[in-house]
Homo-oligomer: A and B are copies of this chain.
Amino acid sequence: MDIIKSPEAMQCRVLELKRAGYSIGFVPTMGFLHEGHLSLMRLARSTCDVLVASIFVNPIQFGPNEDLGAYPRDFERDETLCEQEGVDIVFYPDPVGMYAADASVWVDEDTLSRVLCGASRPGHFRGVCTVVAKLFNLVLPDVAVFGEKDAQQLRIIERMVRDLNFPVKIVRGPIVREADGLAMSSRNKHLSESQRKDALCLRRSLDIAQQLAESGELSVGQIRLRMVELIEKVPEAEMDYISFVDDATLEAVDQLVHPVLIALAVKFGSTRLIDNRVVVL
Name A residues whose Cβ lies closer than 8 Å to a Cβ of B. Answer: 7, 11, 15, 18-19, 21, 100, 102-112, 129-130, 133-134, 137-138, 140, 159-160, 162-167, 249
Contact = CB atoms under 8 A, between A and B. Distances in A.
Contacts of A105: 107-110, 129, 159-160, 162-164
A167 B15 contact: yes
A158 B111 CA distance: 28
Copies of this chain, tallied across the complex: 2
Contacts of A162: 100, 105
A18 to B, nearest CB: 7
A103 B163 contact: yes
Contact of A111 (B21, B104, B130, B166): B104
A111 B159 CA distance: 26
Contact of A18 (B18, B108, B165): B18
A108 B111 contact: no
Contacts of A19: 21
Contact of A134 (B108, B134, B165): B165
A159 B104 contact: yes
Contacts of A108: 105-108
A106 to B, nearest CB: 5
A162 B109 CA distance: 20
9 contacts: A102-B249, A104-B159, A104-B163, A105-B110, A105-B159, A105-B162, A107-B164, A134-B164, A134-B165
A21 B107 CA distance: 30
A107 B165 CA distance: 13
A11 B162 CA distance: 13
B100 A104 contact: no
A262 B137 CA distance: 33
A24 to B, nearest CB: 13
Given A105-B129, A108-B108, A100 B163 contact: yes
